[in-house]
Amino acid sequence: MASVDWPLEKLVTYVPESTAEGDFDAFWDANLEQSSAVPLNAVFTPVDDALPMANVYDAAFDGADGVRVRGWFLTPKDIPKPLPAVVQFIGYTGGRDYPHNLAAHLLNGFCAFIMDSRGQGGNTGQRLETSHGAQSGFITHGILDKDEYYFRNFYLDTVRAVEAVRARDEVDGDRIAASGGSQGGALTIACAALSPHVKAMVPDVPWLSHFTRAINISAGPYQEITGFLKRWPDQVETAFQTLSYFDNMNLVERVTASDAYYSVGLWDEICPPSTVYASYNRLPSGVTKAIEVYPFNGHEGGGGLHQQRKLRWLRDRLG
């Protein structure tokens, strides 16, 4: 079967060696403890006349560093009992956009929340102090120090988003799914790895996995890292060490969700198939998993067909 990467028969058995440092779990446990001590201060402000058959809320909560993270929260108009909820994350440089984009989840019988991405293309700002400069974009900010790295507080935002949603009366806190594509897929994996309250995870063509391979074979945003390393070749080892703490190939081993549903495009040059399988094949044995393979698709994955499949899968697992 055609692929821009390895043949499918190699991909399905590919399990790269972990790059996690000895203090990997201690690092994340300490960050989660620090984050949990910061009040959420979640506010859900009703938005009138946005969607007449839905309750729409302009949502916000405090990130672990005090950044006010924005989102949309939607529920069906009349809720006889608490419903499952999907917490959705966004692709690179995107923003929360408009609330109608969550409507399919409501029609599927769920509540839905979309979390804005800090400092990117939405309504959420950024607070980041680093001891060095960066390449264009976001993924090299703080790359020489794990405590300064851009995705540290961003990953913690996902956990706090789940907590904000679980606190809503409309939501069944035992039936929460994390979902997203590309960067959103990476955040989905990180969320399921760091939050004990994610029941199901749905990462589409996920990014930020198997950095040591991805940076060498991919196109697109990973080239921000190669650009940084071209400028600072003496910092290669330090940069990869930092990235190992945020590599979803390593984080996925912490996942406690019961179910996972991935997608991969075999012609994907942005998130090459081997980097997707690197996390998929390292899921813990207790996770019931499935992956949809799109043989001739690139980073768009399965497109509308896959979105329909995801809705059905979510109904089967949480509905």
List of domains in the chain:
8-318 (3.40.50.1820)
How high is the pLDDT of residue 1? 59
Question: Phi, psi (5° rounding) for residue 95?
Answer: -135, 180
How high is the pLDDT of residue 2? 64
The conformation of residue 153, written as its DSSP 8-state character, comes to H
- HSE of 63, CA atoms in CB hemisphere, 13 A: 26
What average pLDDT does this structure show over 170-175?
A: 98
| 319: pLDDT strictly greater than 90 | no
Report the share of the chain in percent with pLDDT over 70: 99
What average pLDDT does this structure show over 114-136?
A: 93
Query: Which residues carry out catalysis?
Result: 182, 268, 299
- According to DSSP, the β-strands at 54-62 and 68-76 are antiparallel
How high is the pLDDT of residue 22? 98
What average pLDDT does this structure show over 212-229?
A: 96
Q: pLDDT band for position 49 (50/70/90)?
A: confident
What average pLDDT is seen over the chain? Answer: 96
- At 39, list the tokens: 């009040």
DSSP string, 118-145: TTSSSS-------SS---SSSTTTTTT-
What average pLDDT does this structure show over 16-35?
A: 98
Cα 27–chain centre separation: 19
Q: pLDDT band for position 216 (50/70/90)?
A: very high
How high is the pLDDT of residue 135? 87
Record the pTM. 0.97
